[in-house]
Amino acid sequence: MKRIGIIGSGSIGAAVARLAVAADYEVLIANSRGPESLTDLIDELGPRAQAGEVRAAAEFGDIPVLAVPLAAYPNLPIDAFAGKSILSTGNYYPHRDGRIEELDTLESTTAEYEQTLLPDTLIVKAFNNILFHHIPNLANSLPRTALPVAGDDTAAKNRVCDIVNALGFDTVDAGTLAESWRFEPESGAYTPIYAASADGFETITSPTPGLPFRQAVCARCLLPRIALMSGRDSSDA
Ligand SMILES: NC(=O)c1ccc[n+]([C@@H]2O[C@H](COP(=O)([O-])OP(=O)(O)OC[C@H]3O[C@@H](n4cnc5c(N)ncnc54)[C@H](OP(=O)(O)O)[C@@H]3O)[C@@H](O)[C@H]2O)c1
């Protein structure tokens, strides 16, 4: 059976776990408070899911999912991730994560910064640009909804794309970690693109189902000219 370890049992970790059990993955999920705090979620997920420590989740399956705030990365057991590819859902929000100079100055993307925190891994960025409450109804939507995926290692990125596909989404190759700013917060390919409301923002405070969002349209949102929305010049692309 396919296995996936998920670190973080909050909005995104739980949403990915629900997709994973539905796609016949065996899931081991961890959080900061320990397995005993996950009884209700495991009951909901059913017999294919178990709770464990962070280290166990990192070692369970080939590609762990990191669904924790950026500020939690330095507290992770780094050695447990050594040699692994990681599907990272993380974003940088200064009000939550504290100010990080490299990110404030746009010197590096969040994914590049994460790569420095987990140096002996291959970070692949996915699931960071979709709100958790859009995930359940857009997984396996008709037409299928696409998510951008970025990473420096092509083989690792392809393997993450296989997982994202199995969980119910098409993928768009969004390039390297350096290019992943194209679907960071405030970019042209961030969460409002999946919203059903006309301005795209209503659902952040008032959760409603998203609308299917095709691969070709998703790819267009990653184009350089949209980069102006993230405060960068299109010549950066
Ligand atoms: N919410 C969204 O719609 C959304 C969408 C896309 C991307 N993201 C990004 O995905 C990441 C997770 O977001 P979220 O909304 O799922 O956050 P969340 O609901 O606050 O959940 C965070 C989870 O991380 C766990 N955690 C924190 N520190 C940890 C540590 N040191 N070791 C193990 N687990 C730890 C927490 O454990 P406890 O449960 O024990 O507190 C919790 O389960 C963030 O970077 C966020 O920006 C979020």
Residue with tokens 């590049």: 112
Q: What is the pLDDT of residue 177?
A: 98
Amino acid occupying residue 217: V
Say whether pLDDT at 236 is over 80: no
Average of per-residue pLDDT across 200-207: 64
CA–CA dist 35, 6 (Å, integer): 12
Residue of 12, 73, 137 to test ligand 1 pocket, by largest number of atoms within 8 Å of CB: 12
133 within some domain: yes
pLDDT at 200: 64
Does 9 contact ligand 1 (Cβ within 6 A)?
A: yes
Question: Does 80 fall in a domain?
Answer: yes
Mean pLDDT score, 52-78? 97
The size of the chain, in residues, is: 237
pLDDT for position 196? 84
Ligand 1 center to 68 CA (angstroms): 3
Assigned domain for 73 exists: yes
Residue 74 lies in a domain: yes
**Residue 166 within any structural domain of the chain:** yes
Residue whose CA lies nearest to ligand 1 atom number 19: 10
CATH assignment at residue 88: 3.40.50.720
13 touches ligand 1 (CB under 6 Å): yes
pLDDT value for 197? 78
Q: Is the pLDDT of residue 223 over 90?
A: no
**Position in ligand 1 atom list of the atom nearest CA 133:** 3
Judge whether residue 232 has pLDDT over 50: no
If you average pLDDT over every residue of the chain, what do you get?
A: 92
Q: What is the pLDDT of residues 141-177, one digit of tens each?
A: 999 999 999 999 999 999 999 999 999 999 999 999 9
Residue 153 is which amino acid? D
Residue 4 domain-assigned (yes or no): no
Q: How far is the CA of 7 from the centre of ligand 1 (A)?
A: 8
Mean pLDDT in residue range 202-223: 84
- Name the band, by pLDDT with cuts 50, 70 and 90, for residue 203: low
Provide, rounded to the nearest whole percent, the portion of the chain with pLDDT above 70. 90
Residue 34 lies in a domain: no
The pLDDT assigned to 205 comes to 63
Q: What atom of ligand 1 comes closest to residue 71's alpha carbon? A: 28
- By C-alpha distance, which of 49, 41, 99, 48 is closest to 70? 99
- Structural domain containing residue 109: 69-236
Instruction: Look at 184 and 233; give whichever has higher pLDDT.
Output: 184
Q: How many domains does the chain have?
A: 1
Residue 61 in domain? no
Q: Is the CB of 65 under 6 A from ligand 1?
A: no
Within 23-167, where are the H helices?
39-45, 54-59, 78-81, 94-97, 101-104, 110-117, 135-138, 154-166
Is the model's pLDDT at 227 over the cut of 50?
A: no
Ligand 1 center to residue 225 CA distance, Å?
Answer: 31
**Rounded to the nearest whole angstrom, what is the distance from the C-alpha of residue 26 to the centroid of ligand 1?**
21
pLDDT one-digit tens code per residue, 102-132: 999 999 999 999 999 999 999 999 999 999 9
